[in-house]
Amino acid sequence: MGKLDGRVVIVTGAARGQGEQEARLFAEEGARVVIADVLDEQGKALAEELGEKSALYVHLDVGAESEWQAAVAAAKDAFGKVDGLVNNAGILRFNELVSTPLEEFQQVIQVNQIGCFLGMRTVAPEIGDAGGGTIVNTASYTGLTGMAYVGAYAATKHAVLGLTRVAALELAPRNIRVNAVCPGAVDTPMTNPAQLDPEADPVAAGEAVAELYKKLVPLGRIGRPQEVAALALFLTGDDSAYITGQPFVIDGGWLAGVSVI
């Protein structure tokens, strides 16, 4: 028996990185997973690998309301219901606050904050109609503190935590639990763009990232997307049945403070 047997869960940004690992783990635990992304080729390949009984790919720009409605309709048509959502999709831009163009700031908000809002607003009624379920929002370490050069990103992740708490209060009467994962640095293309650069030396890039987080993180390394997926599974399954409205930091101890050793 899997921990998510009988569940139907939409995972956004699921074609690669953290979302891909969440989709894989959820399917292994018995869920039927709706892989939602704008990376059509990768998303379709993942769905095909997992099998049509376990996975469906849908194109979804999380900042577009009409695409959310279409994704939910496709999920219900394929699997009959929706009783789980992982709002994982997000983008990161590095820029000094006073140098950040308004367009760039708004782009990050559209995906990270409005995408999360639209996901909850669209999917929560379906989860309620299914008898209850869970929503897991992907916030960030930076949603609980500050970090230079990621002002737009940090602002949206603070907002995601606020939305999570409000949603938890409002949706509890419909038997819907809402929590947030707050990753620190995780070894994905978003954190390490060199993974997507065909001209980059992957070994050198990996070594540079490893050296950086060896110094910054008490546990001495960058996080793995599979580790975040395991936390999302916990918050989606019955093991967390009495938990709602909470942020869960998974950062190797980074937020704990500064070590002088």
* Enzyme catalytic residues: 153
Say how far apart CA 159 and CA 114 lie, in whole Å: 10
Task: Kindly compute the dihedral angle of the four CA atoms of residues 236, 160, 182, 17, in this order, to the nearest 10 degrees.
Answer: 80
Q: How far is the CA of 172 from the CAs of 159, 169, 178, 256, in angstroms?
A: 20, 6, 8, 30
Q: In what order do the strands lie in the sheet with 8-12?
A: 55-59, 32-37, 8-12, 84-87, 133-138, 176-183, 247-250
Least Cα distance to 112 among 83, 57, 75, 151 occurs for: 151
Say how far apart CA 245 and CA 141 lie, in whole Å: 16
Q: What is the DSSP letter of 150?
A: B
